[in-house]
Structure 1
Amino acid sequence: MKHLLALLAFALIAGCGFKPVYSTGGGANYTGGAISVDPIDGRSGYLLRRALQEELAIGLPNVADPATLTVDLTENLSRLAFQQDGAASRSNVTTSANYTLARESKSIHGSAVGEVSFAVPDSSFGDIAAQKSASERAVKLLAKNIVDDLRRQLSVQ
């Protein structure tokens, strides 16, 4: 009887529509409209692609046909202020990108920058966490700047 109940429970769970977050199946692709974003290398590239897909989900002005956004991302960490013992106390994460929105009719090129400053904690592990957090914020800002620039360029066409 216990085995029968366990099988019934598994059958109900399988039919609920649950999909793993990092699925590689057909449901893994983001379908945010007519604009697709090519994969971008690295952790920051993955985060940038997801942020761009969210920003582009509502579309762009004067873009009704399918389009592909290709992004070349660079990320830089710079130490701004130092304590008397030489340890960094303030840092910047700067993300910059050159992008191309390719459409059947014509392509649009541009560049954008996202920059975030953060205070460096005293512990080394805290510094790593602060860098990752700043990188995530810089990538989201970069995605917003890219989409804003695309909207500006497309609104004058």
Structure 2
Amino acid sequence: MRRLFPLFLLLGGCGLHPLYGGGPSSAAGRLLATVSVDPIDGQAGWLVRHSLIDRLGSASRTSAEYRLEVELDDQIVGLGINDQNTVTRERRTLRARYRLVDTSRAGVVVVDATAGADAGIDVTSSDYSTLAAEQKTLENVSDEIADQIVARLALYARRAG
């Protein structure tokens, strides 16, 4: 421990700062608390929207300072084919284009970005297990998309605030 002490002194000068340093009173915390999430089409949209609401702590705020608009593209593509010409592996890809709109500045878009996630799915002889795997994969990639979006919004808040 004694030999590591000088290394701890160097960490303070490296320029790294916690994104959520200060908790709810940080720039990221303040911005994220003022974001409303527009409805998103489809089952994937419902999952992503509710994941975002969970992470932002926002419900359907009507007087929010920012509005988050999200468009999704959800695809499942068969990858592996066995000797009976049957798909044995699928890849689920979820892509999101999102915009953070500042409602107090006449709808100026302050963040316009994309997020993406994908995962592989084993296709079995049981339709039920394959469908369950596809559903669970959709839930997982929806959470990953929401994490990416919230991290990007927090980064914007840190830079802007």
Q: Same fold (TM over 0.5)?
A: yes
Q: Which amino acid in the other structure matches residue 88 of structure 1?
A: V
Instruction: Please give the per-residue CA displacement for 1:76-134, whole angstroms capped at 9, x wherever unaligned.
Output: 10112122112222111111111111112442111110111121122122211111111
* Deviation (angstroms), 1:46: 0.6
Q: 1:146 aligns with which of 142, 145, 149?
A: 149
CA distance in 1, matches of 2:155, 2:123: 36
* Paired position in structure 1 for 2:76: 77
* Paired position in structure 1 for 2:24: none
Matches within 5 A, 1:1-157: 33-57=33-57, 66-103=65-102, 104-105=104-105, 106-107=108-109, 108-157=111-160
CA distance in 2, matches of 1:138, 1:76: 12
CA distance in 1, matches of 2:85, 2:131: 18
Q: Which amino acid in the other structure matches residue 71 of structure 1?
A: V
CA distance in 2, matches of 1:34, 1:150: 11
Please give the TM-score of this superposition, normalised by the length of structure 2: 0.68
CA distance in 1, matches of 2:35, 2:114: 18
Please give the TM-score of this superposition, normalised by the length of structure 1: 0.69
CA distance in 2, matches of 1:152, 1:33: 14
SS of the equivalent of 1:156 reads: helix
SS of the equivalent of 1:68 reads: strand
* Deviation (angstroms), 1:156: 2.3
CA distance in 2, matches of 1:94, 1:79: 11
* Deviation (angstroms), 1:135: 1.0
Stretches (4+) displaced over 3 A: none
Q: What stretches of structure 2 of length at least 5 have no aligned partner?
A: 1-31, 59-63
* Paired position in structure 2 for 1:27: none
CA distance in 1, matches of 2:114, 2:37: 16
Q: What stretches of structure 1 of length at least 5 have no aligned partner?
A: 1-31, 59-64
